[in-house]
């Protein structure tokens, strides 16, 4: 095996930034295979250790294993999600099943499990500190969840299931990206784009040119149902076309049809759950989340669903008055903007000149983080990242010491998957004395060269949200990589990012960043006040659309093996699932249909998409705490950082919340925020 690839050693660049100028596609597989061999040898060395198992020679040794593999995978999966290619897709197809097999070789090793179990069974006598004790518990329970306790026959079947699922999930993601790109709408007449801003039209022209259609305009599809242009596009037929095409991603008779892929995934996940003695995949997944059981999730969602649909239907009646006709899904955004203007004197299209990307980022997102946590940001154009559009910022503490590196990759491109997310390239930990390197990816349409990037209010919200994830990674202060940053339970991970959204309209913050990009004029206070007054406006639609997707996720993953085998019609199943929950309201389609629901069929949110609103209970309660304690003040940031953000996953998630809030969470702030009381 070669050791000449760029992943063989820790990077000697600032912050251990991977040496992207040296990394080539042909480096990934050799580094992957060598990394797997190296980690397996390290695990075998643990098993060969003479004498009884100790925390140091077993748990800490495991934490130290696999460093080359970790370096390789963090870089590869960041690249494959944000700037993929046919070559990278081929690598991922080879890598995914072998990675699943590698993890199984470790997690399902009975000798390793016996060592860890012996430590866990005698944990009270080990004299461990809180973080060490929690790490031991995590290892033990994670191995149980992985199947280490199963019989040899069951473990062999589990390995086969995991390998096949990894292939299918990779194929699902590949199909979604390809079909999303394929479904872009090419417009040949400028008049058809009436209602769009000059910036949006220029972006559409640039997108068309990039695909070889100079002189035309391309409306690209997005990863969710609908499209932001539907809010302002006056051409109803074009709106209808865009909406209908957005609903068929991965659901056409072509090479990208995801229906057979997802049906196989559902069946195999149900079979895997049965191996663990669970009735369904949802029971298996949620057992290790803060919700603990699907019944607890449904208990909360059923409190919300009826009020959400009721509000959505009331909103539809308001829109109908404005439209003078029944509202269809492709009309909702357009007439929402009109009613928003009539009711609250809010014209979001006029706000875009006040939300210029550079100002939102530096004078808004960074400004709020500085006020709360004392941290500062300095752009480092000298650092080479994985793509020319990915920008690096050095982050420092208030005393000038280095905190980490933030990379912002804001623009959409055909090689980037849809949505917005945070990745880590280096995880903070004291075990190896590593500072964090975190990445935020967004999908903002890129304007032509020399033109400003003017954001919608929704895109501004997304930027604040994703930076909340970045803060969770940057502010981490833990010993072990396994519990660093966002390594918390899945239904807790969205909580800090949602909290960070509260600063968007906070007086001191909005005054700092929301300035007209040409005149410097502040966003009018009347508009800000009106946004506050309209905070629950259209929440019926937003909540219903989200809940339909969350229920769809739970429905697929609440099937037993026998039930999953009987499902052959994807569309009929999803329609029935949404109807059974009372969420079937045609003008408000589910945020994701099954065939492009990458969160659950290609990502880590299977049986966990409910986590956004589950986390929002904590978020809304936390926002109340900040308001009660004076808001954007360093003492509040210090408390939030010390009790929660800085702890990563080093203690129980809900205990962290209690340490921060002083009590358990309450649902009332969420219901009030969404207008559901």
In this prediction, residue 3 has a pLDDT band, given cuts at 50, 70 and 90, of low
pLDDT of 349: 86
pLDDT at 631 over 90: yes
Which token pair is 224? 């969710």
pLDDT per residue as tens digits for the range 420-445: 999 999 999 999 999 999 999 999 99
Question: Which of 476, 439, 444, 446 lies closest to 20 in space, CA to CA?
Answer: 439
Q: Which residue has the tokens 């209808």?
A: 240
Sign of the dihedral through C-alpha 10, 488, 621, 546 = positive
Backbone angles phi, psi at 251, to 5 degrees: -135, 45
pLDDT of 440: 98
Backbone angles phi, psi at 424, to 5 degrees: -115, 135
Distance (Å, whole) CA 527 – CA 537: 15
Distance (Å, whole) CA 276 – CA 292: 15
pLDDT at 622 over 80: yes
pLDDT at 314 over 60: yes
Distance (Å, whole) CA 190 – CA 559: 49
75 and 390 Cβ atoms separated by less than 8 Å: no
Catalytic residue ranges: 466
Q: Which residue has the tokens 């004078």?
A: 363
Q: Could you tell me which residues come within 8 angstroms of residue 353 by beta carbon, excluding any fewer than 6 positions away?
A: 454, 516, 517, 518
Which token pair is 182? 């394929």
pLDDT per residue as tens digits for the range 254-276: 999 999 999 999 999 999 999 99
pLDDT at 182 over 60: yes
In the predicted model, what is the mean pLDDT of the chain? 96
Distance (Å, whole) CA 190 – CA 194: 7
Backbone angles phi, psi at 162, to 5 degrees: -60, -40
Distance (Å, whole) CA 672 – CA 425: 38
pLDDT of 1: 43
- Rounded to two decimals, what is the model's pTM? 0.93
Q: What is the mean pLDDT of residues 598-622?
A: 96
pLDDT of 4: 82
pLDDT per residue as tens digits for the range 43-95: 999 999 999 999 999 999 999 999 999 999 999 999 999 999 999 999 999 99
Percent above pLDDT 90 for the chain: 98
Question: Which of 606, 555, 611 lies closest to 580 in space, CA to CA?
Answer: 555
Report the C-alpha dihedral over residues 85, 86, 87, 91, rounded to 10 degrees. Answer: 100
pLDDT at 482 over 50: yes
Walk me through the domains of the chain, giving residue ranges and CATH numbers. 14-107+109-149 (1.20.1050.40), 183-246 (no CATH), 259-346+537-609 (1.10.1370.10), 353-528 (1.10.1370.40)
Distance (Å, whole) CA 387 – CA 20: 9
Distance (Å, whole) CA 459 – CA 580: 33
Which token pair is 256? 């990208």
Q: Could you tell me which residues come within 8 angstroms of residue 551 by beta carbon, excluding any fewer than 6 positions away?
A: 301, 305, 577, 578, 581, 583
Q: What is the mean pLDDT of residues 198-206?
A: 92
466 and 587 Cβ atoms separated by less than 8 Å: no
Q: What is the mean pLDDT of residues 197-217?
A: 94
Strand partners, 407: 392, 439
In this prediction, residue 677 has a pLDDT band, given cuts at 50, 70 and 90, of confident
pLDDT at 2 over 60: no
Q: Could you tell me which residues come within 8 angstroms of residue 598 by beta carbon, excluding any fewer than 6 positions away?
A: 172, 173, 176, 223, 417, 418, 419, 592
């Amino acid at each position: 095996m070669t050791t000449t690839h760029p992943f063989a050693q820790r990077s000697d660049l600032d912050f251990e930034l991977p040496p992207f100028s040296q990394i080539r596609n042909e480096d990934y597989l050799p580094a992957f295979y060598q990394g797997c061999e190296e980690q397996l040898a390290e695990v075998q060395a643990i098993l060969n250790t003479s004498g009884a198992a100790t925390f140091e020679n077993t748990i800490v040794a495991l934490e130290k294993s696999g460093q080359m593999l970790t370096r390789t995978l963090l870089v590869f999966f960041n690249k494959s999600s944000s700037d993929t290619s046919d070559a990278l897709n081929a690598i991922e197809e080879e890598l995914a099943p072998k990675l699943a097999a590698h993890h199984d070789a470790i997690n399902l090793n009975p000798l390793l499990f016996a060592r860890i179990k012996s430590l866990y069974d005698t944990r009270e006598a080990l004299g461990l500190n809180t973080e060490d004790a929690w790490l031991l518990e995590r290892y033990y329970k994670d191995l149980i969840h992985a199947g280490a306790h199963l019989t040899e026959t069951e473990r062999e079947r589990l390995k086969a299931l995991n390998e096949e699922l990894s292939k299918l999930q990779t194929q699902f993601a590949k199909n979604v990206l390809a079909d999303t790109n394929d479904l872009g709408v090419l417009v040949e007449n400028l008049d058809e784009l009436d209602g769009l801003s000059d910036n949006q039209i220029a972006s559409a022209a640039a997108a068309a040119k990039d695909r070889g259609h100079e002189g035309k305009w391309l409306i690209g599809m997005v990863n969710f149902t609908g499209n932001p242009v539907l809010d302002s596009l006056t051409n109803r037929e074009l709106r209808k076309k865009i909406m209908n095409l957005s609903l068929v991603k991965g659901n056409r008779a072509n090479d990208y049809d995801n229906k057979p892929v997802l049906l196989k995934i559902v069946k195999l996940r149900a079979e895997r759950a049965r191996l663990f003695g669970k009735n369904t995949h949802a029971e298996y997944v949620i057992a290790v989340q803060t919700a603990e059981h699907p019944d607890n999730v449904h208990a909360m969602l059923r409190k919300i669903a009826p009020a959400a649909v009721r509000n959505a239907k009331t909103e539809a009646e308001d829109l109908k008055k404005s439209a003078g006709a029944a509202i269809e899904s492709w009309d909702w955004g357009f007439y929402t903007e009109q009613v928003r203007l009539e009711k609250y004197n809010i014209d979001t299209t006029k706000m875009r000149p006040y939300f210029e990307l550079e100002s939102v980022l530096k004078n808004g997102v960074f400004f709020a983080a500085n006020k709360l946590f004392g941290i500062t940001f300095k752009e480092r154009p000298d650092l080479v990242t994985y793509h020319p559009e990915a920008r690096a910022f050095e982050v420092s503490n208030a005393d000038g010491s280095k905190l980490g590196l933030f990379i912002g990759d804001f623009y959409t491109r055909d090689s980037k998957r849809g949505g917005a997310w945070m990745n880590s390239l280096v995880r903070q930990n004291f075990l190896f004395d590593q500072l964090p390197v975190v990445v935020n990816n967004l999908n903002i349409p890129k304007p032509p060269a020399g033109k400003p990037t003017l954001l919608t209010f929704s895109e501004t919200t997304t930027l604040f949200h994703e930076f909340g994830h970045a803060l969770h990674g940057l502010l981490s202060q833990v010993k072990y990589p396994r519990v660093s940053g966002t390594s918390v339970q899945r239904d807790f991970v969205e909580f800090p990012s949602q909290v960070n959204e509260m600063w968007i309209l906070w007086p001191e913050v909005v005054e700092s960043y929301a300035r007209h990009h040409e005149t410097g004029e502040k966003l009018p206070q009347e508009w800000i006040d009106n946004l506050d007054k309209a905070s629950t406006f259209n929440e019926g639609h937003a909540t219903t659309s989200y809940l339909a997707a969350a229920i769809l996720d739970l429905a697929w993953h609440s099937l037993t093996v026998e039930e999953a085998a009987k499902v052959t019609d994807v569309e009929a199943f999803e329609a029935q699932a949404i109807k059974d929950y009372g969420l079937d309201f045609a003008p408000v389609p589910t945020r994701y249909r099954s065939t492009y629901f990458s969160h659950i069929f290609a990502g880590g949110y299977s049986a966990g998409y409910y986590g956004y609103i589950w986390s929002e209970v904590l978020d809304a309660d936390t926002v109340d705490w900040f308001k009660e304690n004076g808001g954007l003040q360093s003492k509040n940031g210090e408390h939030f950082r010390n009790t929660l953000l800085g702890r990563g996953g080093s203690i129980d998630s809900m205990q962290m919340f209690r340490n921060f809030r002083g009590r358990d969470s309450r649902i009332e702030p969420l219901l009030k925020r969404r207008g559901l009381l």
